[in-house]
Amino acid sequence: MSKVLIIGAGGVGNVVVKKCAREPEVFSEILLASRTKSKCDKIAQETGSDHVKTAQVDADNASEVSALIREFQPEMVINVALPYQDLPIMDACLETGVHYLDTANYEPKDVAKFEYSWQWAYKDKFEKAGIMALLGCGFDPGVTGIFTAYALKHHFDEIHYLDIVDCNAGDHGKAFATNFNPEINIREITQKGKYYHNGQWVEIEPMSVHQPIDYPGIGPKESYLLYHEELESLVKNIPTIKRARFWMTFGQSYITHLQVLQNVGMTSIEPIQFKGVDIVPLEFLKALLPEPSSLGENYSGETSIGCQIKGIKDGKERTYFIWNNCKHQDAWNDVQGQGIAYTTGVPAMLGAKMMLTGKWMKPGVWNVEDFDPDPFLAELGHYGLPWHEKVDAKLAFNDYE
């Protein structure tokens, strides 16, 4: 039984808190904190548990987070705040000697650059402090890395090609909305794409490479090559990989809205003067868009996220596909959330459980594929995200050299 501090009260925070509250034998006391305490209070009330408390905290301020940790004395911090708050929260965990978990890698607020280097640099400090940091334990990154580690452990001697494929075939009924924080979502999509090929990173123009991919239970959907952070850790931790790519679906209406917003400068992160005040256009746009956590109730359809892999087993070529489909309405019925938040929040809770029960625990800074995938995947379906696999699968696309 352990006390846990959860920072962030958006859509993912809602899922993590409600899932943790149902596991009191692991998470004996929960403190949910964010900049806006009223959001925390609403989530806490909805859990129906008297073991969930709330607090206000500015996650940009490491000393403020440290003070809250000292007051509550948790065993670990689950960070589901914004990616540019990762380092202050990690600093607070180091200062107070508690474990750390997040779902997305650090990104500077003023530069659209996703990279693990800043967090990996904490490895020696966390080892010396005798505490653990688990990075990127959502779905992608997160379960996709665990899927890949599972494939390597059970089905391959060497993985050569990895394609992570992510489809949201849901409909929320809005003209334009993002499924998670608009600042992060739009920055991710509008930066240049990148993939790994023969030891080098190949950069492409945003959204310039795309093709239809046939998703299980959904069918063909146009999918765009993006850069995603798990590629960086997977090619480092699985050095036999020759090529690694990440694909995500977008509807034409979404693409059109995004292009217009880009053309008029609304996706920029460079401050501009407006009536004598500096404003960041993307932050202003965020204020105009629907809150991602508000999309769930009327969301229909489902997501499909998986790993398409080709490599060698016993000297022979093998193909393999492992995936999860998640219905938005099932997520709403379970935790009053939408599927994108659900597929991120459930793995975050389960990763924390792996740490607190000692199944994944060693001092330092680690990615999910550094650990045994079996105990995690043995429980993932129980918490609402069943997974499936096909060995010698017919690949959704087959452009391997």
Question: What are 182-203's pLDDT values in tens digits?
Answer: 666 676 777 889 999 999 999 9
369 lies in some domain:
no
Task: Kindly give the interhelix angle for 328-335 and 11-21, rounded to the nearest 10 degrees.
Answer: 60
pLDDT computed for residue 279 by the predictor: 80
* 227-245 pLDDT per residue, tens: 999 999 999 999 999 999 9
Give the sign of the dihedral formed by CA 357, CA 362, CA 367, CA 373: negative
| DSSP tag of 293 | G
| DSSP tag of 297 | T
Which three-class secondary structure state does DSSP give residue 111? coil
pLDDT computed for residue 215 by the predictor: 96
What CA–CA distance (Å, rounded) separates 360 from 349?
Answer: 13
Pairing between β-strand 27-34 and β-strand 52-56 as defined by DSSP bridges: parallel
What CA–CA distance (Å, rounded) separates 148 from 153?
Answer: 9
Please tell me whether residues 123 and 211 are part of one structural domain.
no
What CA–CA distance (Å, rounded) separates 117 from 220?
Answer: 36
Please tell me whether residues 152 and 89 are part of one structural domain.
no
Average pLDDT over residues 249-258: 72
pLDDT band at 283 (very low <50, low <70, confident <90, very high): confident
Please tell me whether residues 233 and 263 are part of one structural domain.
yes
pLDDT band at 179 (very low <50, low <70, confident <90, very high): low
What CA–CA distance (Å, rounded) separates 382 from 359?
Answer: 17
Average pLDDT over residues 368-394: 96
**CB neighbour list of residue 313: distance below 8 Å, 6 or more residues apart:** 155, 156, 157
377 lies in some domain:
no
Please tell me whether residues 147 and 79 are part of one structural domain.
no
Say yes or no to pLDDT of 175 above 60: no
199 lies in some domain:
yes
* 317-373 pLDDT per residue, tens: 999 999 999 999 999 999 999 999 999 999 999 999 999 999 999 999 999 999 999
79 lies in some domain:
yes
The total number of structural domains that make up the chain: 2
206 lies in some domain:
yes
Last residue of some domain: 88, 106, 135? Answer: 135
Please tell me whether residues 163 and 69 are part of one structural domain.
no
Please tell me whether residues 294 and 172 are part of one structural domain.
yes
**Residue found by looking up tokens 């962030």 in the block:** 8
Q: Are 66 and 50 in contact (CB under 8 A)?
A: no
We report the CATH number of the domain holding residue 200 as: 3.30.360.10
State the number of CA atoms in the 13 A half-sphere of 23 facing the CB.
23
Q: What is the mean pLDDT of the chain?
A: 90
Please tell me whether residues 104 and 204 are part of one structural domain.
no
Within its chain, how far is the Cα of 348 from the centroid?
8
pLDDT band at 169 (very low <50, low <70, confident <90, very high): confident
Please tell me whether residues 150 and 128 are part of one structural domain.
no
Which three-class secondary structure state does DSSP give residue 205? coil
pLDDT computed for residue 287 by the predictor: 74
- The domain in which residue 22 lies consists of 2-135
Instruction: For the beta carbon of residue 179, count every other beta carbon within 10 angstroms.
Output: 21
pLDDT computed for residue 120 by the predictor: 98
Please tell me whether residues 186 and 220 are part of one structural domain.
yes
pLDDT computed for residue 255 by the predictor: 67
What CA–CA distance (Å, rounded) separates 283 from 110?
Answer: 12
Q: Which of 77, 251, 255 is nearest to 169 (CA)?
A: 251
Please tell me whether residues 34 and 171 are part of one structural domain.
no
Last residue of some domain: 87, 106, 135? Answer: 135
341 lies in some domain:
no
* 132-143 pLDDT per residue, tens: 999 999 999 999
Last residue of some domain: 114, 135, 156? Answer: 135
We report the CATH number of the domain holding residue 105 as: 3.40.50.720
What CA–CA distance (Å, rounded) separates 352 from 89?
Answer: 16
What CA–CA distance (Å, rounded) separates 391 from 244?
Answer: 19
Please tell me whether residues 163 and 287 are part of one structural domain.
yes
Say yes or no to pLDDT of 292 above 70: no
171 lies in some domain:
yes
pTM: 0.91
Please tell me whether residues 36 and 96 are part of one structural domain.
yes
pLDDT computed for residue 78 by the predictor: 98
Say yes or no to pLDDT of 262 above 90: no
pLDDT, greater one: 392 or 359: 359
